[in-house]
Amino acid sequence: MNNLSVIVGNSSVQLGTKFAKKCKANLVKSEVRVFPDGESKITLKGKISSKKTIVIQSVYPPVDTNLIQALSLVSKAKEFSKEVILVIPYMGYARQDREFLPGEIITMKVLAQMTKGVGASKIIVVDIHSKLGLKHFKTKTQNISAIPELVKYLKKLRLKDPLIISPDQGGKERAKLFAKEFGSEFLALEKKRDRKTGKVKIISKEVDVKNKDLILVDDMISTGGSIIHAAEFLKKQKARQIFVACTHGLLLNDAEKKIKSSGVKQIISTNSIPGKTSKVDISNIILEAITDA
């Protein structure tokens, strides 16, 4: 694309570089040094377009560091470019989209103010936790879905009598979409989370999953708690094999190991967060979104 530059942030090097090549943009690399006190010093290498710049930087842990880097990149790009689009493949803080308990701060509102303040003209995110989070933004936003890409990958596994499962009712629409794309049925379990301790439990009764291959679908896996409880429940109900497909594999601490021990055969996530399970590339869907923007 003419007169377009892509600034690749430190947290999205592999995805951002792929994306920049695909849209034939000027690649601007960011050299980052994080000081012992946690401050980030960023130096950009490359030519920033006067017309349009896309900044790509995921906000996974260290969340606050990656967030300030994203904001800094937009702020610098805005000094040169008329239009700056911020692509945040994984948007940290997306779960803080409402006041669950009195006094809680809706951090998504703060993010909306900050991204506007540094001059982003549009924010693009991938499979955001809930659309409510984006309602706090006054700038244009777009949520794109990695589900078709995840489905393409899962289809290659040739599963037996597959069924799509959401670990909770909140993910019902996601599972429905996944199932439609996959060409199978779906169901959503009932999960209860203690708002104070964060602990989860599955409160569904019996489900008909006997001898079926299951795909547990979620937007993100953080500690793995939701998936582990669901997998243990489904194993007790005599499921055959359980696969997990999620867009954002945070997989904190030893979540991956714990999920595997709960009976999950394979975890598949996207490169919104790079890691061992990030087998699905989302550069094409970001490219489509940018082309339409």
Residues that bind ligand R5P (CB under 6 A): 129, 167-168, 170-171, 200, 218-226
Nearer Cβ to ligand R5P, position 83 or 219? 219
**With respect to ligand R5P, which residue has the nearer C-beta, 152 or 192?**
192
Q: Specify the 3-state DSSP secondary structure of 288.
A: helix
Closest CA to 221 of 259, 178, 191, 194: 259
Question: Of 163 and 267, which has the nearer Cβ to ligand R5P?
Answer: 267
CA proximity to 79, closest of 46, 118, 43: 118
Please say which residue, 104 or 161, places its beta carbon nearer to ligand R5P: 104
Looking at the Cβ atoms of 56 and 242, the one nearer to ligand R5P is 242
In the complex, least distance from residue 217 CB atom to ligand R5P, rounded to whole angstroms: 10
Q: Which residues are catalytic, by number?
A: 191
- Identity of residue 48: I
Tokens representing 154?
A: 């899962």
Amino acid letter, residue 109: K
Q: Pull the structure tokens for residue 88.
A: 């945040």
- In sign, the C-alpha dihedral spanning 260, 264, 270, 272 is negative
Q: How far apart are CA 214 and CA 192, in angstroms?
A: 21
Q: Which residues of 143-164 are buried (b: 16+ CB within 10 A; e: fewer)?
A: bbbbbebbbeebeeeebeebbb
Maximum distance among all Cα pairs of the chain, rounded to whole angstroms: 60
Tell the smallest beta-carbon distance from residue 124 to ligand R5P (Å). 20
> What SS3 state is found at 94?
coil
CB of 174 to ligand R5P, least distance (A): 8
- Rounded Cα distance, 265 and 83, in Å: 45
Report the nearest approach of ligand R5P to the CB of residue 176 (Å).
15
246 alpha carbon, distance to own chain's centre: 8
In the complex, the smallest distance separating the C-beta of residue 66 from ligand R5P, rounded to whole angstroms, is 18
Q: How far is CA 240 from the centre of its chain?
A: 28
